[in-house]
Structure 1
Amino acid sequence: MEDTKQASEMVVGDPALLEKKIDSIRLAGPHKLQVIADFDATLTKFWVNGTRGLSSHGLLQQGNPEYDAKRQQLYDYYHPLEFSPTIGLEEKTKLMEEWWGKTHGLLVEGGLTYESIRKSVADANISFREGVVELFEFLEERDIPVLIFSAGLADIIEEVLRSKLNKTFKNVRIVSNRMVFDDDGHLVSFKGKLIHSLNKNEHALDMAAPVHEQSGDLNGPSDENDSVKKRTNVLLLGDHIGDLGMSDGLNYETRISVGFLNHNIENSISCYRDAFDVVFVNDAPMWGVIKLASQMCSSES
């Protein structure tokens, strides 16, 4: 029954090409493979308890209603511009930098504390797709790195991973906006280059840190980053066509892209099918991705 349900949730535009890519990755071996995943609505569910699940940015309540309201006003203004078909990419990129910059400024000015991040995550309507833990375990056993790319906030994503999965994975790293807290746990600044919805790709790799490392100098590139760059086969997971850009900075040989189409399915399915190698619809669990990963890592043809 599970397989039939999985098949009905899975759409493949070019099955022969997908088979060819799986074979190519399988022949190269797991040591050449890495996984690049978006976070919100890709690793997490789109619908949670019948309502829209929160994003890692959206769940944050900074314990100061005035500043929460100001951030909401920015969202109401900039979010429609992010998806406007009439604004060119260059202008849109400037607008996104402006939005993220202002939002980060409000978080500092409004006195965000690490404690309010913990509380926000504990109270948030957010949960992972079924099978995320099993996927991470499968990849960890084979030493395959997972890079989570997000235009959100690394510290919140780490807290969501810690509190909702109750487990840490040594192969999981986060490429996202990282906060700097003072000794009293107050946010004082952000570290490194601003990552927004239109520039999150492998160029931001040097901001990645293992999820279990709370601190440490993350400014310089590490040997681990170089080894990731040598992994030239990619399994990419995203929920927006723009997520395909996450592997832009990488000189990959073979990439299998998986798209999660969570809503507005009828209108979007044809462009998702053309853009991604595999599409999972209706907020599908991760079982299909695990099956795909096991085919890519199989020792049999």
Structure 2
Amino acid sequence: AFTDDGANAATCYGIVESFSGFTDEYKQQIQLIFEKYFPIEIDPAIPVEEKIPVMHEWHGKAHELMLTQNLRKTDLAACVRDCPNLVVRDGAWEVFRLAKDLGMPMVVFSAGLGNVIREVLDQQLPAELQEWSQEHVHIVSNMLLWTDEGKLAGFSEPLIHVFNKNLQEASANLREALKDRDHVILAGDSMGDLSMADGLDAKVVVKFGWLNSNVEGNLDRYRAAFDYITTSDGTMHGLVDFLKQLRKQ
């Protein structure tokens, strides 16, 4: 997603990386790392099997650098609250509201940081959805790990990156929540997101795709892979309309 002035919105990692308590040297180094690896992630000419070790290298360097900054668990609220480029795509909370109305569990699958996603939900999700979210919104992501004193100690394993999102190793709790759910609505903004339902015994998977960058170069691939496509950082209104139609049935 993008901000109103056209800048890239912050990723989960970016939300933490923008923390005012981090040094300027850290922020310069992490930006250089991003500028090196992100173009590789989105380059359609590079085969996925070549990208995977690069994603591990990218995360490894980013994690190592973050561990130098003395981040504390109590800092996460400020990271989210003060991030200047945090953008929630227009229509997102309506998707949550409709999922609640329809009795649908939600899985937020991210190559980012699950702690940050939960903090964003805690701060920005409408109040009437908060209790429902705690039980029915399942976050599958990398997690920040803390010492008993609340200092960043490391990152969960195995690494979840943009090209290995699937439910083959889903937890017992998540499998129970998704039991007997054989119709899936998959929504993502990367070709890597297409595998997110793998591991479920799904009869139908309806795929919504958001094509945010290099639209001309990627459009044919997205058209072949997704059932519905939104380009140029569009809203989630297409998915909202789809869910409203389901509610009428």
TM class by shorter chain equals: 0.7 to 0.9
2:181 aligns with 231
Structure 1 runs not aligned, ≥5 long: 1-40, 207-220
2:163 aligns with 198
Residues 150 and 183 of structure 1: is their aligned pair in 2 closer, same or farther, counting only changes over 3 Å? same
Q: Deviations over 1:47-66 (max 9, x none)?
A: 33443211111222352323
Superposition pairs for residues 46-57 of structure 1, below 5 Å?
A: 46-57=2-13
Superposed displacement of residue 201, structure 1 = 1.6
Give the aligned residue type for 1:59.
I
In 2, Cα distance between equivalents of 1:90 and 1:262: 23
The CA RMSD over aligned residues, in Å, is 2.3
- Kept after mapping to 1: 8 A contact 2:44/2:218: no
- Kept after mapping to 2: 8 A contact 1:262/1:281: yes
1:94 aligns with 2:53: yes
Residues 205 and 79 of structure 1: is their aligned pair in 2 closer, same or farther, counting only changes over 3 Å? same
Q: Deviations over 1:99-134 (max 9, x none)?
A: 212222222233222233322211221121222222
- Kept after mapping to 1: 8 A contact 2:164/2:192: no
Superposed displacement of residue 175, structure 1 = 0.6
Give the aligned residue type for 1:139.
A
Superposed displacement of residue 149, structure 1 = 0.7
- Kept after mapping to 1: 8 A contact 2:30/2:62: yes
Which structure's relative contact order is higher, taking Cα pairs within 8 Å and 6+ residues apart? 1
Superposed displacement of residue 204, structure 1 = 4.9
Residues 78 and 138 of structure 1: is their aligned pair in 2 closer, same or farther, counting only changes over 3 Å? same
1:138 aligns with 2:98: yes
Residues 147 and 121 of structure 1: is their aligned pair in 2 closer, same or farther, counting only changes over 3 Å? same
Give the aligned residue type for 2:184.
V
Q: Deviations over 1:64-113 (max 9, x none)?
A: 32333332232222223323455443332112112212222222233222
Of the candidates 59, 73, 84, which is equivalent to residue 15 of structure 2?
59
- Kept after mapping to 2: 8 A contact 1:175/1:204: no
Give the aligned residue type for 2:211.
L
Helix, strand or coil at the partner of 2:248: coil
Superposition pairs for residues 1-301 of structure 1, below 5 Å?
A: 41=1, 46-61=2-17, 62=19, 63-65=21-23, 66-85=25-44, 87-124=46-83, 125-167=85-127, 168=130, 169=133, 170-206=135-171, 221-222=172-173, 224-299=174-249
246-255 or 149-158: bigger deviation: 246-255
Structure 2 runs not aligned, ≥5 long: none
1:31 aligns with none
Give the aligned residue type for 1:228.
L
Give the aligned residue type for 1:246.
M
- Kept after mapping to 2: 8 A contact 1:258/1:278: yes
In 1, Cα distance between equivalents of 2:136 and 2:56: 30
Helix, strand or coil at the partner of 1:47: coil
In 2, Cα distance between equivalents of 1:117 and 1:161: 12
Superposed displacement of residue 171, structure 1 = 1.7
Give the aligned residue type for 1:113.
R
- Kept after mapping to 1: 8 A contact 2:182/2:203: yes
In 2, Cα distance between equivalents of 1:115 and 1:100: 23
Give the aligned residue type for 2:73.
Y
Residues 91 and 233 of structure 1: is their aligned pair in 2 closer, same or farther, counting only changes over 3 Å? same
Rg bigger for which structure?
A: 1
Superposed displacement of residue 174, structure 1 = 0.8
Q: TM-score, normalised by structure 1?
A: 0.71
User: What is the aligned-residue identity percentage?
Assistant: 35
Residues 166 and 83 of structure 1: is their aligned pair in 2 closer, same or farther, counting only changes over 3 Å? same
Superposed displacement of residue 158, structure 1 = 1.2
Helix, strand or coil at the partner of 2:10: coil
- Kept after mapping to 2: 8 A contact 1:229/1:251: no
